[in-house]
Amino acid sequence: MSSKILLKTITEFRKSTDANPQVRLARNAAVRGDVMDLAMDWEAFRRIDHTFSDIVTGQMKVTNQKSSGRCWGFAGLNLFRIYLGRKYNLKKFEFSQNYFIFCDKLEKSNYFLENIIKTADEPLDGRLVMHLLTDPIQDGGQWHMFVNLIEKYGVLPQTEMPESFQSSQSMRMNRMITRKLRGFAKDLRVAYEKGADTKKLRVMKEDMLRTIYQMLTICLGSPPEKFEWQIRDKDKKFHRFEKLNPKQFYKEHVGLDLNDYVCLINCPMSDKSYNEIYTVDYLGNVVEGSIIRYLNLPSKRLKEVAAASIKDDHPVWFGCDVGKYFHRNLGVMDMDIFDFELFYSTDFPMTKTDRLEFGDSQMTHAMLFTGVDLDGRGHPRKWQVENSWGEKRSDKGYDIMTDSWFDEYNYEVVVYKDYITKDEFSLYQKDPVVLPPWDPMGALAK
């Protein structure tokens, strides 16, 4: 057998392909149409149903992250607004996602520069430093990174710091700040090579962060230090709260204790075990903030705690690989929605483990579970998902995830600690096993 493709082999490929009428039919359709529609299975399509046995109260019009990767922040702030909306009987409300991302970008810049100082004696072309330089202020994030920002900076109503063009279309802002940060990384490493100690490098870093703050202000606006908040509730009653700051607004008006939440993952990789706690090295945003902390459990267990939370009227933040077996316009995540095997005349047999270990899947998107459809035995059939892609798709922006899709492509849920056992919570508090920075369980923050 030759190591190269022989021309006669290509001729044989063509003969066998052209002889297959199913392939010819699929080809003729695919060259003129979207495979996501052409491969759709009728039986799965006709079963699409946006009703659920249990939904959380206080749902509002979905938000829209537009052309940005802020899903994790949107999901967290959307969780907050459900509780705020219940408290003040609100029909609509949004937190400032712009303020949130301003704080995140500033903290990620500091986190990156600190890691450059920390790794100053590592080879520049080594995998670690190259990893750090790849995407220093990416839009993504993880639950504990969200917690770090909220605890340090609080939250704002969107009316106090509305969206800017750059927050909604973040690519160019990220590109320019990344370019500046890489230049700063070079300056820090050169200074270290010339004998600068950590104290001197941090003096340099402070001037660098001043420049980053300036760039963020140009792109996103200036965060207010003080503000007032006024609303009219569903009963037309007017409320005004004066002399607020972001931390006070979070503490007094949202009031959730984020220390009461735990982060659970389902990661069946061969280098990981169930009932083990994990973190990811060099993954974070706030220096000296909480580390990423995952308790790895079977998918069935994640579904049990998520369903219990929803039944008790608590939404659930989660992370998944949204691009797989998902029809974006219909808003359906379903393992049966596409018959790719029939369409391509081949099978795709990789398991969840295979997909993680061979780079075919990772966490790419965070959203909220706001409902679950339970059968007569209390087992989930499908899940209601509050997405952050606007309301001009799906059921006004609320999506469906089938239970089989949950097993294959959902990786993470965040719930109150009351929904796990005492033994599980004891495991959660252990010192975690440290995963390398490029582990797929860190992908949502990329």
User: Tokens 């899947």 correspond to what residue?
Assistant: 361
Sketch out the chain's domains with CATH numbers: 34-63+257-446 (3.90.70.10), 90-256 (3.90.70.10)
The answer to whether residues 305 and 413 touch, using CB atoms and an 8 Å cutoff, is yes
pLDDT for position 238: 97
Based on the residue annotation, tell me whether 64 is a catalytic residue of this protein: no
Based on the residue annotation, tell me whether 314 is a catalytic residue of this protein: no
Kindly report the pTM of this predicted structure.
0.97
User: Tokens 């149409």 correspond to what residue?
Assistant: 33
Compute the radius of gyration of the chain from its Cα atoms.
24
Q: Which two tokens stand for residue 20?
A: 């297959």
Closest by CA to 223, choosing from 104, 385, 388, is 104
Transcribe 347-408 into DSSP letters: -----HHHHHHTTS----EEEEEEEEEE-TTS-EEEEEEE-SB-SSSTBTTEEEEEHHHHHH
The answer to whether residues 410 and 320 touch, using CB atoms and an 8 Å cutoff, is yes
Number of helical H runs and strand E runs in the chain: 17, 14
Q: Which residues contact 228 (CB under 8 A, 6 or more apart)?
A: 240, 241, 242, 243, 244
d(CA 279, CA 295): 9
Cα–chain center distance at 166:
20
276 phi and psi angles, rounded to 5 deg: -130, 150
Q: What are the Cα distances from residue 271, in Å, to 268, 277, 282, 435?
A: 8, 13, 19, 10
pLDDT for position 28: 95
397 phi and psi angles, rounded to 5 deg: 95, -5
d(CA 136, CA 126): 16
pLDDT for position 11: 96
Based on the residue annotation, tell me whether 387 is a catalytic residue of this protein: yes
The answer to whether residues 50 and 25 touch, using CB atoms and an 8 Å cutoff, is no
3-state DSSP call for residue 168? helix
Transcribe 43-105 into DSSP letters: HHHHT-----SEE-S------B--BS--HHHHHHHHHHHHHHHHHHT-S---B-HHHHHHHHH
3-state DSSP call for residue 182? helix
Catalytic annotation, pick one of 296, 320, 365, 410: 365
d(CA 77, CA 329): 24
Catalytic annotation, pick one of 71, 219, 263, 267: 71
Q: Which two tokens stand for residue 153?
A: 């900076």
Q: Which residues contact 130 (CB under 8 A, 6 or more apart)?
A: none
The answer to whether residues 335 and 408 touch, using CB atoms and an 8 Å cutoff, is yes
pLDDT for position 199: 97
With a cut of 50, which residues of the chain have pLDDT below it?
none
pLDDT for position 289: 97
d(CA 96, CA 430): 35
Give 15-38 pLDDT, tens digit per residue.
999 999 999 999 999 999 999 999
pLDDT for position 319: 98
Closest by CA to 100, choosing from 65, 48, 133, is 65
pLDDT for position 2: 85
Give 120-159 pLDDT, tens digit per residue.
999 999 999 999 999 999 999 999 999 999 999 999 999 9
Catalytic annotation, pick one of 78, 148, 285, 387: 387
Transcribe 253-318 into DSSP letters: II---GGGEEEEE----TT--TTEEEEETT--SSTTSPPP-EEE--HHHHHHHHHHHHHTT--EEE
